[in-house]
Amino acid sequence: MDIEIKDQEVEKIMEQIKENIGRKKALGVYSDEEIEWVKKMDGKVDSAHGPADHGFQEQLRQMNLDWELKNKVPILSHRRILGPVIIFSKKALRRLTKPYINLILGEQVVFNANATRVINQLTAKLGGLEGQNNNLTKRHEELFDKVDLWNAETRQDHAQLKLEHDQLFDKVDRWNAETRQDHAQLKLEHDQLFNKVDRWNAETRQDHAQLRLEHDQLFNKVDRWNAETRQQQAELNRNHAELVQHHQALFDKVDLWNAEVRQDHAQLAQHHQALFDKVDQWNEGLQKELAQLKDRHLTLYQKYTALQQENILLKRRLDIILSDLRKKTHLKPELARSLVIHQERLMDHAYFLFEHTYRGLPDEIRERFKVYLPYFSGMSDILDVGCGRGEFLELMREQGIPARGIDISEDMVYYCQQRGLVVEQKEALDYLTSLSDSSLGGVFAAQLLEHLPSPSLQEFIKLCYQKMQPGGIFIAETINPLSIISAIRNFYLDLSHIKPLHPEALRFLLEYLGFKEVQTLFLSPFSPELILQKLIPENSLGKEYQGLLELMNRNIDQINEVLYGYQDYAIIAKRG
């Protein structure tokens, strides 16, 4: 082979090629025959291997030739003279008719072209499919070969497995024989064991007979002991009968003693009855005396009530008379002023009566005031402002503490003076103003502050501070408005009350005006039977009700605190 290449190594390449081929041929890779065989193969369709038989190929070839329907018949004539004329006219005719024929045949030609193309493509595809089919057949044959190979291998494996199986069976037989031998051995040992057990059984039976004999002997012994015991019991029975006789004798003695005691008792009962009779007689006498006293007391009370009513009527009458007198126009001014004072005093007298009726008895009040004693202990120049019936002053006198009082009510002042107390009829603010500063050892004012209007209250406290010595004690008692019941029942009971005083407001006022060590003392609790009663838990109640009960009791405590709190309180302060 000759090659053209713009390269200096052309010859070297060709030599290499030739050498390669020579080596391949020498090695028998391929032969000259094979090269010749390939060379001779042409690119023409081989009907033997083609997609269809030769007739089909011929028809296809014809179809490819004829689809265009062109008139391929050459126009010829064999006539010597007329020939050219005929040819000319035939050609002219063909040329004239050609457009019309083409018009008609045009569509047919298109169809033929398409049909031919489709058939050509189908043929090509058929060729391809046949190629695929041959490939598949080839693969199928290969698979069959493989299957045969596998079969052969499987047979070999099977033989191998059978051999192994037989060997296993032999082993199993051997194991069986061994197992049988072991079994016989075990049976022998088992029989020997059974014999031993039989021997032990026989021995046990012998032991049992021996034991039974010993048992019978023991029973005989027990029987003997029983007989002896019975004899002893008969003896004991005899002893018992003797003891019963002794006992009976003793009982007889006790009965005798009893009769004697009863006789003594009857005598004592007679004495006792006589004494009772005497006490009854005395009782009767005392009863009679009590009835007489009660009658007398009733008579006195009726007289007292009648006097009180009479007193009220007289006061009313006096009031009317005073009013009538004040209406007179020609009265002297002094007389008119006197009339006004008399009428006011009449009202004070009414308050005296009111306090006597509602405030409580003087002894009770005095008892209550004892709570303040420790504060005034060892002091002097104590002023009781609004001393009323003088219960506090009496208490001071008892304790030897020098004290004096003032009150606006003539009746109160009179009442106190009658009892020997140092009391003057004075208006509080005027009186305090008149005193020299730091002259008082202490001030006491019970149930007074609630009677004062706000400016007077401040003025009063300020004056007290001013007139007291340093270290002096100021105590004021008033109704506790934090207790709703006390506020309703006590504060509003008295028409002359102006303003209830909150404990904290009062404390603030005192501290504001200079007092030190201010403390509040709550007093006069309601007696327990007057307040709301708590629920008493019962053991039978379930736990859930216990909780409810406790809640309820807490609520009751809170309501009691608000409704039934302490009725009064005292504010206690020191001048610094």
Q: Which stretch binds another protein (CB under 8 A): 38-46, 165-173, 438-446, 525-533?
A: 38-46
Residue 369 in contact with residue 446, Cβ under 8 Å?
yes
Stretch of 60-68, 329-337, 527-535, 557-565 lying at the interface with another protein (CB under 8 A): 60-68
Residue that the structure tokens 């015991």 belong to = 229
Nearer of residues 29 and 361 to another protein, judged by Cβ = 29
If one asks whether residue 112 binds another protein (CB under 8 A), the answer comes out as no
Rounded Cα–Cα distance for residues 501 and 506 (Å): 7
Taking CB under 8 A as the binding criterion, the range among 47-55, 159-167, 300-308, 425-433 that sits at the site for another protein is 47-55
Among 56, 86, 105, 127, binds another protein (CB under 8 A): 127
**Residue/partner pairs of 481-485 with CB below 8 Å, 24 or more apart:** 482/562, 482/565, 482/566, 483/562, 483/563, 483/564, 483/565, 483/566, 483/567, 484/562, 484/563, 484/565, 485/526, 485/563, 485/564
Q: Which is nearer to another protein, 127 or 525 (CB)?
A: 127
Q: Please say which residue, 125 or 199, places its beta carbon nearer to another protein.
A: 125
Determine if 2 is a binding residue for another protein (CB under 8 A): yes
In the three-class reduction of DSSP (H, G, I as helix; E, B as strand; rest coil), residue 153 is classed as helix
**121 or 160: CB nearest another protein:** 121
The one among 11, 30, 207, 307 contacting another protein by CB under 8 A: 30
| 9 is a contact residue toward another protein (CB under 8 A) | yes
Label residue 406 left, alpha or beta by phi (over 0 means left) and psi (-120 to 50 means alpha).
beta
- Classify burial at 445, counting beta carbons within 10 Å of its beta carbon; exposed 0-12, middle 13-18, buried 19 or more: buried
> Which is nearer to another protein, 130 or 459 (by Cβ)?
130
Among 112, 123, 343, 469, binds another protein (CB under 8 A): 123
136 is a contact residue toward another protein (CB under 8 A): no
118 interacts with another protein by CB under 8 A? no
Residue 131 interacting with another protein (CB under 8 A)? yes
Kindly report the three-state secondary structure assignment for every residue of 460-498: HHHHHHHHEEEEEEEEEEEECCCCHHHHHHHHCCCCCCC
State yes or no: residue 5 binds another protein (CB under 8 A): yes
Of 3, 320, 551, 562, the one binding another protein (CB under 8 A) is 3
Sign of the CA dihedral with 327 first, then 329, 331, and 333 last: positive
**425, β-bridge pairs:** 407
**38 is a site residue for another protein (CB under 8 A):** yes
Which CB, 121 or 273, lies closer to another protein? 121
Task: Give the number of other Cβ atoms within 10 Å of residue 466's Cβ.
Answer: 18
381: Cβ contacts below 8 Å, ≥ 6 apart:
402, 403, 439, 440, 441, 442, 469
Ordered strands of the 468-479 beta sheet: 423-425, 403-407, 382-385, 440-446, 468-479, 568-575, 515-523
Single-letter amino acid, residue 223:
D
CB of 156 to another protein, least distance (A): 32
* 28, 33, 43, 99: residue in contact with another protein (rule CB under 8 A): 43
Contact code string over 401-440 relative to another protein, x by CB under 8 A: ----------------------------------------
Could you say which of 50, 360, 362, 525 contacts another protein (CB under 8 A)? Answer: 50
Report the nearest approach of another protein to the CB of residue 164 (Å). Answer: 43
- d(CA 43, CA 31) in angstroms, rounded, equals 22
| Contact call for residue 16 and another protein (CB under 8 A) | yes
In the numeric block, which tokens belong to residue 256? Answer: 């005798």
State which of residues 20, 102, 176, 558 lies at the interface with another protein (CB under 8 A). Answer: 20
> Is position 13 an interface residue for another protein (rule: CB under 8 A)?
yes
Distance CA(323)–CA(343), nearest Å, equals 8
- The binder of another protein chosen from 18, 91, 140, 158 (CB under 8 A): 18
Name beta bridge partners: 407. 425
Element (H, E) at 225: helix 83-327
Q: How far is the CB of 31 from another protein (least distance, A)?
A: 11
Q: Which is nearer to another protein, 3 or 300 (CB)?
A: 3
| Gap between the Cα atoms of 371 and 527, Å rounded | 18
Residue 39 or 80 having the CB closest to another protein: 39
Which member of 124, 269, 307, 493 binds another protein (CB under 8 A)? 124
Binding mask 64-103 for another protein (x = CB under 8 A): xx-xx-----------------------------------
List Cβ neighbours of 446 (8 Å cut-off, separation of 6 or more): 369, 384, 386, 388, 392, 476, 477
CB 499 within 8 A of CB 450: yes
- Say whether residue 240 binds another protein (CB under 8 A): no
- Assess 238 for contact with another protein (CB under 8 A): no
Q: Residue 389 in contact with residue 363, Cβ under 8 Å?
A: no
Q: Catalog residues that contact another protein under the rule CB under 8 A.
A: 1-7, 9, 13, 16-18, 20-21, 24, 29-30, 35, 38-39, 41-46, 49-51, 60-61, 64-65, 67-68, 117, 120-121, 123-124, 127-128, 131, 134-135
